[in-house]
Structure 1
């Protein structure tokens, strides 16, 4: 009689080994295939918003906007809330606004000189300490100069969390720690009476050699006194007047008396180094104003560095510090264990197979 027994095939056996190893590796502290999300760090977290209980505006506002006159003085307030779970301190300061390279409003640094709205704002206090969940209001005054151009002026009030928040990411091989300080901004827009001037000018188009992607820079200036939101197209033609690029342009806020080098990325067809191209800019802005600008630009040849520099970027330097085993990772040990069990199971399986064949041959004899 034959006895029934449970036989594990090599595939089943190896699958069990793989599952055991995978569970061990994923559960390793600080290692594994995935990096667990860091726990919520305790600390102060501030938010700011304009108040809306003053005669200037009885409805919620996302930023401060005033229609006023030269020489006027405006008193207003902003509300600060500590949404975190720890007591913290926040500081306040006023800055001028400008236009970011890719359009939209950005604010100068605290150390930068102030010549516009940032110089007109005075805050009632520069620092405020709040308990967790506590809110408070900070008053400020806007004093508009008597001798100032008409039109729109932009600035902002910045709230800086004085607590440095640390974010740490740890893997089996390394650990990275980053210190962050949050900055919150509330825009301040002042509209002054006078002639409305909408004047957008293009001053050049050039190829951006410093970018990792093919793009051109369109130099634009807002010489007027109003916020602009230009839109249109940029066409690039080769020497045979064939259109290689017909790209839509849609700029965000463009502040008056500012200039930018607006980046436009090439699509589908690459520009050839050493060749000259024609750029045609067509923009519509303001009250149906149109800007048409045509110029030539050339794509320069890439800067070829020394050969050894290129090789260093292609072949990383080897590290010989430490012995052989100190440079191994859990992956190396896991693969070694996997191969060892594979060889043992294969020897066991084929050994039994060969033994059975030998017994069958002896029985037949």
Structure 2
């Protein structure tokens, strides 16, 4: 029954809702990236008829109350078509946050609602479909009837719209048929005494996906209102070394939520052995402590990631000749550098660069170099000797 606190929602159905919501997001992305190849089709959009503080329908109502409201349905597509309009339950995603059940199963636990206080069955839309031209809209009435009795707390449903025939996108051998879906939440706060703190964490366990290790944490929130709980935990080994930790806030939990949260161990994978898992979880003003020991077996350790080459690394064909010839090439380079050095005519020292004497007057002050220059012999001097010869030549000329 809708007011029975002990009822639990169908987790498999909620997971299906998550998949459909993800598919809708994927569909929007695909339409954006390949819109040039898409075929004309209608596409829905929903709008509030007047402002609400949080951007969705939100009311405070007592058991037995009936709320009359309208929603604006618009065709934002490129062709005339029929848009389906329906109500559905809210549910908590396994990744946390609220998602909404699909049209194929709008009320996961039947017409009486579900254990997560889904209010989809309370909502009656005046028409299940509307036909609109591109850019046109219509105001569609709907009612929210709060059953009597109903337990105090937050109840979440939604009004959704989607196109009847998906738009085809893509070309050639690859194509997608995309269904556009849009949703506005309907939240009803039933006043009364409520539980806002009841939480529980179950025994954690480790599972493995390809090259990934997941810590699975069973979470249960038995409160009656929407909550964004905080979680602080750390994982330590037998020597009390901290191997992993988390300190943050989850997205929204629906009332009376039970699911398993998968935490990806990124910074460090756990090897076989015993570990301690401890921390706090719950509302920020009243977190509940927890402490568990868990074991990781060899089966819970990911297999080593295969190398990108897929086998033995093969050296390129040119590597061996290059290694053999490298010493010979180095020796040849040294010889060439030595041969490039020349000896100064005057000081007989080896130098990389020498200056050739063109004017014999430059070496007139040196008897040896002057004789060589007079006999048309090449005189090549280092910078120091050339500077000294020019200076002595100038002194000799001045003395004459």
Q: TM-score range by the shorter chain?
A: 0.5 to 0.7
How far the C-alpha of 1:183 sits from its partner, in A, is 1.6
Please list the CA deviations of residues 294-349 of structure 1 after superposition, one character each: whole Å capped at 9, or x if unmatched.
11222233389xxxxx9xxx79xxxxxxxxxxxxxxxxxxxxxxxxxxxxxxxxxx
Deviation track 1:76-114 (CA, whole Å, cap 9, x = no partner) reads 011011112210111111111111011000112332334
Assess, with a 3 A threshold, how the Cα gap between structure 1 residues 266 and 166 changes in structure 2: closer, same or farther.
same
Give 1:38 shift: 5.2
Q: Which residue of 1 aligns with 2:391?
A: none
What is the DSSP-based 3-state SS (H/G/I as helix, E as strand, rest coil) of the residue aligned with 1:71? coil
- Residues 43 and 162, structure 2, Cα contact 8 Å, conserved in 1: no
Q: Distance in 1 between matches of 2:268 and 2:211?
A: 16
Secondary structure of 2:212's counterpart equals coil
Rounded Cα–Cα distance in structure 2 between residues aligned with 1:281 and 1:103:
19
Question: For residues 57-96 of structure 1, what are the structure 2 equivalents within 5 Å?
Answer: 62-96=55-89
Q: Report the secondary structure of 2:64's partner residue.
A: coil
Give the TM-score, by structure 1 length. 0.66
Is 1:39 the counterpart of 2:39 in the alignment?
no
Paired residues of 2:229 and 2:282 also in contact (CA < 8 A): yes
What secondary structure does 2:298 align onto? coil
> Structure 1 stretch 196-205 or stretch 144-153: which is displaced more?
196-205
Q: Is residue 233 of structure 2 the alignment partner of residue 237 of structure 1?
A: no
8 A Cα contact 2:34 2:170, kept in partner: no
Instruction: Give the Cα–Cα distance (whole angstroms) in 1 for the partners of residues 259 and 174 of structure 2.
Output: 35
2:162 equivalent to 1:160: yes
Quick one: structure 1 residues 76 and 87, their matched pair in 2 at CA, closer, same or farther if it must change by over 3 Å? same
1:259 is displaced (CA, Å) by 1.3
**For 1:39, what is the secondary structure of its paired residue?**
helix
The whole-number CA distance in structure 2 between the counterparts of 1:126 and 1:48 is 14
State the match for 1:301 in structure 2: 298
Question: What are the superposed Cα offsets for residues 222-269 of structure 1, whole Å, 9 maximum, x if unpaired?
Answer: 101011111232200112221111222320001101112122222322
Structure 2 length-normalised TM? 0.61
Task: Output the CA distance in 2 between the equivalents of 1:155 and 1:59.
Answer: 16
Asked if the contact 2:230/2:250 (under 8 Å) is kept, the reply is: yes
Q: Distance in 2 between matches of 1:88 and 1:49?
A: 18
Q: Please, which runs of 5 or more residues in structure 2 have no aligned partner? A: 1-32, 312-400
Q: CA deviation at 1:270?
A: 1.5
Question: What displacement does 1:192 show?
Answer: 0.6
Distance 1:132 1:139 in 2: 21
Alignment of 1:34-183 (within 5 A): 37=34, 39=36, 41=38, 42-52=40-50, 62-110=55-103, 111=105, 112=108, 113-114=110-111, 115=113, 116-170=118-172, 175-183=173-181
2:222 equivalent in structure 1: 223
Kept in 2, the 8 Å contact 1:51–1:60? The answer is no
Alpha-carbon contact 1:234-1:249 (below 8 Å) kept: no
Counterpart for residue 265 of structure 2:
266
- Aligned partners of 1:220 and 1:262 also within 8 Å: yes
* Contact 1:216–1:264, Cα closer than 8 Å, also in 2: yes
CA displacement at 1:70 relative to structure 2: 0.6
**Structure 1 residue ranges, 4+ long, deviating more than 3 angstroms after superposition:** 58-61
Do the aligned partners of 1:49 and 1:63 also contact (CA within 8 Å) in 2?
no
Contact 2:235 2:277 in 1 (8 A): yes
Report how many aligned residue pairs link the two structures. Answer: 261
Residue ranges of structure 1 left out of the alignment (5+ in a row): 1-35, 53-57, 305-309, 316-365
Distance 1:212 1:46, change over 3 A: farther
C-alpha deviation, 1:197, in angstroms? 0.8
CA contact (8 A) 2:57 2:185 kept: yes
**C-alpha distance in 1 between matches for 2:213 and 2:234:** 15
